[in-house]
Structures are given as C-alpha cells and as structure tokens.
Amino acid sequence: MPRRRLARLLRVRSPALPGARIVVGLGNPGAPYARHRHNVGARVVERLAERLRLPLEDKAKLAWSGQGQTPYGPVVLAKPRTYMNESGRAVQALLTRHRADPSALILVYDEVDLPNGRVRIRPGGGDGGQKGMRSIAQAVGSLDFPRVRIGIGRPLVHGQPSWDPGAVSDYVLADPGPDQAAALAQAEAKAAEAIIAILRDGVETAMNRFNAAVDG
C-alpha cells in the first residue's frame, strides 16, 4: 500500500463536538500567504491554539482544526484550507460536522475600514464587503454571529486612501512593513483576548470592554 494512502487511513479524526463554540480565523492557506495582512484572522486562531492547548492537528479536507474542553466550555478552533473567497465551504463543513448552527460561530478576520491595529467586536451584521464573510453568508445563509475584526487600514495611493479593487487586493495580499507588522502583532494578541472574553463573558460584555478601549 502506498505510504500516503496508509497515512490517510491511519489518521484519526476528532469526533464531533456538539455544543461547542466554533472559532474560525479567516485567511489564505500556505506559507506564501502566512504573513499577509489578509491572514491576521488565521494568526489569531494559531495564538488561541497555543493558549487553549488545542493544537490544529485535525487536517480535514477543508480546514485545519483543534477541539476540546476549555475553562470556557467546549471549543473548536479552525483555519480554512480554502482560499478566502471560498471560506463558506469550510465553515459549512465545520457546522455540519459539529451539528451546529451559525449562532455557534465566532469569526475573526481583517478589516480595511478600520485603522491598522484596531480591534473591534460586533455581534452580527453584514459582510462589510469582506469576501470571506460574503462567501460564508452565501454558504450558511446567515451572518447572525459575533465577529472580531482587526483593522489593517486602507492602502494609500498618492497619499490618499484608495478604494480601487486592484490596489486593495495588492495591499491585503502583501506583508506589512515593520511598523504595521508590530501593531498587527499587538492587535492579534488583543483579538485573542477578545475571543476569550466572548467565550467567558458573552459578546455584550466583551464589546463593552474592548470596543470602549479602542474608542476611549
């Protein structure tokens, strides 16, 4: 039997975890994308995996995931293995696998309409033009779940913020400069804390704490 096929057969997938909150960090898969602005959500989930000791060892077709009991209840952490604009496929598969509805989700992702490094929690709402969220809305039929957004700012063209699709695409699919990277690293740590607060205290309490902190 070929070694790869044997490895697939021997791989043990984690069982379904009904009742879990499912935290999904959006991004693009693969090393070339790992440090891009568009991958801050995936990096937050990696931080949470270390903190909650839920390594992302389960490599299903559509997502890397880790799961288990935590001080905040049962939790599933996941990074889609799809590209950003197909995130809905991975999220729907996670919901089906864990017998959950969209209200179990907590999404974390980048937001060009927030200043670089700002963290903001929302209890629900629209997709805000974010392609991953748009894909999720189409796949699961709802965006009625909390999300933690991490600001990456808009690209500047001739010194002015740009809404040009090409400029925005080039910007999000690029590594930030040193100063922006340092601010994003701090924001990723803060976003991980915000998700912990949602799991522990609920979204309203977490919003009062974290949104007030950035506005004050």
State how far the alpha carbon of 9 is from the alpha carbons of 1, 125, 194, in Å. 11, 41, 38
Active-site residues, by number, are 38
How high is the pLDDT of residue 1?
A: 44
Mean residue pLDDT of the chain comes to 91
Question: For 77-94, what is the mean pLDDT?
Answer: 96
Closest of 39, 26, 41 to residue 133, by C-alpha: 26
Enter the DSSP assignment of 114.
Answer: S
Question: For 73-86, what is the mean pLDDT?
Answer: 97
pTM of the model: 0.91
pLDDT in tens, 107-152: 999 999 999 999 999 999 888 888 899 999 999 999 999 999 999 9
Tell me: pLDDT of 3 over 60. Answer: no
How high is the pLDDT of residue 60?
A: 87
Question: For 157-186, what is the mean pLDDT?
Answer: 95
Please enumerate in sequence order all residues whose Cβ is within 8 A of that of 174, keeping only pairs 6 or more positions apart, or say none. Answer: 36, 37
How high is the pLDDT of residue 8?
A: 46
Tell me: pLDDT of 204 over 80. Answer: yes
- 62 close to 92: Cβ distance less than 8 angstroms: no
